[in-house]
């Protein structure tokens, strides 16, 4: 039996167009052998969830640098569960204040990666959680 590749969806929700970090993470996932769907910036919650459903992804990685992450992720996680995608591993990264991290984790976000996190540690986390 051949083991399937981990399939990851990455992108940015909202008007935040600071994309350097998400591109670096996306490339690290791809370079590690994962299959990656990159949505880019300026996406809407429903668009990302619909793509996750259509593409049958294992992991979703989102990046935030301009705030709004708590409310956006609350809507996102609710929509994800409404669509039956509760088993998808969700990770976020970017400029996330320490006081917001527990709330994000309580929503079901598996991990929050802050600036300076080594790319190999993000990749390792996903492999450990999704068995790649």
CA triple 37-28-121, angle to 5 deg: 120
CB atoms within 10 A of CB 95: 15
Reading the block at residue 81, the tokens are: 């569960």
- pTM of the entire predicted model: 0.94
Tens of pLDDT along the chain (132 residues)?
A: 346 799 999 999 987 767 788 899 999 999 999 999 999 888 999 999 999 999 999 999 999 987 789 999 999 999 999 999 999 999 999 999 999 999 999 999 999 999 999 999 999 999 999 975
Map out the domains of the chain with their CATH numbers.
7-112 (3.40.50.280)
Please count the other Cβ atoms lying within 10 Å of the Cβ belonging to residue 72.
19
6: which DSSP letter?
Answer: P
The dihedrals phi and psi of 59, each to the nearest 5 degrees, come to -140, 145
């Amino acid at each position: 039996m051949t083991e399937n590749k981990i399939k990851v969806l990455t992108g940015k929700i909202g008007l935040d167009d600071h994309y350097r970090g998400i591109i670096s993470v996306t490339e690290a996932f791809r370079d590690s052998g994962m299959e990656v769907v990159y949505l880019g910036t300026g996406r809407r919650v429903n668009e990302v969830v619909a793509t996750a459903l259509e593409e049958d992804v294992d992991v979703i990685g989102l990046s935030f640098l301009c705030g709004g992450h708590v409310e956006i992720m609350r809507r996102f996680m609710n929509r994800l569960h409404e669509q039956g995608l509760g088993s998808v591993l969700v990770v976020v990264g970017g400029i996330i204040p320490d006081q917001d991290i527990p709330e994000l984790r309580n929503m079901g976000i598996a991990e929050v990666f802050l600036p300076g996190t080594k790319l190999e540690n993000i990749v390792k986390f996903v492999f450990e959680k999704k068995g790649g």
